[in-house]
Structure 1
Amino acid sequence: MSRIDESKDFIPVRIAVLTVSDTRTAADDKSGDTLVQRITDAGHILATRAILRDDRPQLAEQLRIWTQDPDIDVIISTGGTGLTGRDVTVEAHRDVYEKEIEAFGTVFTMVSMQKIGTSAVQSRATGGVANGTYLFALPGSPGACKDAWDEILVWQLDYRHRPCNFVEIMPRLDEHKRRK
């Protein structure tokens, strides 16, 4: 089972939060607020935050820009992961991914099943890597953001987490680009 190795130092990572919505504003972005609070409470750094409309090319472009920013290690988006015609966040993420973290969606579904039962099948949460940056697309509800953070990301973004975590392999995510 997972555990925190207290003999290791915590390493904060720089996280960007992107809310995807045609209607939310900074004043009523509860899901974004939920993520920001959890990120900072865990000791990580909020690198930047934005709200964009459900527009696949615009979302993919913002993700690409952020994956090329050396001051951003992780991007977490919230919203646009459902099944309706306007839900294009997953497609935008996949336009950017070099590698998909397929088990992220599976584990998120397992966590969601405990909370909302079979309604979990309607989520298309996803994770991936591009340009040495982790990207995660979460549903737009504060509850889903809490579940993803509290049950998955808080652990995988903690260098002390054992038996393994995302932070310890971060320096090697783009090693294929350095090889000759």
Structure 2
Amino acid sequence: MSDAPTQLPAPGGKLIDGPLIPVRIAVLTVSDTRDEESDTSGAILAGRITDAGHACAARAIVPDDVEAIRAQVKAWTAGGEVDAVITTGGTGLTGRDVTPEALEPLFDKRIEGFSVIFHHVSYQTIGLSTLQSRATAGLIDGVFVFCLPGSNGAVRDGWDKVIRWQLDSRHKPCNMVELMPRLKEV
């Protein structure tokens, strides 16, 4: 099985001709056990981000700890150097899975539809096991934050079938790039 991104038409819309507006995206892996070498889900995300023409502006690994997760995401959202953050890991049901608890209280606005759509595409891949994910998304300080499960399959589904298209300025009838403060006038 290849880790190459699937080239599919834009779901629920179309891609218009024109240049892509690159988005600066940070990747955060939430795990007590991963390091730079074993962080396969973070590597998949970073590769797909750059393959899509965006910038992987930052990458970090933090333990399953509410304060560590918040500190890293707040540093990125307050710093003005990223337009979006994608986290991987910590969205399950075990005691150490605390990514939603860490980040949802920081959301200025919650993106309710993200979880619905993520579960829809995840169901097509893993069936009812998608119930064990608490994938979520929202805005913090004007920065889009997407929280994905830590499995490689969930990262592929989340990026390839959902996030990729909403961070592509050519996706119509609308996309999230149009809402990013730094990119509104581009």
Q: How far apart, in 2, do the equivalents of 1:103 and 1:69 lie? A: 27
Higher helix share: 1
Structure 1 residues 132-161: Cα deviation after superposition (integer angstroms, max 9, x where no partner): 100010000011000000001110000000
Q: TM-score, normalised by structure 1?
A: 0.93
| Contiguous gaps of at least 5 residues in structure 2 | 1-11
SS in 1 for 2:37: helix
| Contiguous gaps of at least 5 residues in structure 1 | 174-180
Q: How far apart, in 1, do the equivalents of 2:182 and 2:31 lie? A: 33
Q: Which runs of 4+ in 1 moved over 3 A?
A: none
Of residues 26, 38, 55, the one that matches 1:45 is 55
Q: How far apart, in 2, do the equivalents of 1:172 and 1:37 lie? A: 23
**2:33 aligned with 1:15, yes or no?**
no
Q: Kindly report which structure 2 residues correspond to 1:1-180, keeping only aligned pairs within 5 A, or say none.
A: 1-6=12-17, 8-171=18-181
Q: RMSD of the alignment, in Å?
A: 1.3
* TM superposition shift of 1:57: 1.3
SS in 1 for 2:144: strand
SS in 2 for 1:32: helix
Q: TM-score, normalised by structure 2?
A: 0.90
Q: How far apart, in 1, do the equivalents of 2:136 and 2:67 lie? A: 18
Q: How far apart, in 1, do the equivalents of 2:66 and 2:173 lie? A: 36
* TM superposition shift of 1:172: 8.5
What count of residue pairs does the alignment treat as equivalent?
A: 172
* TM superposition shift of 1:171: 2.2
Q: How far apart, in 2, do the equivalents of 1:158 and 1:69 lie? A: 23
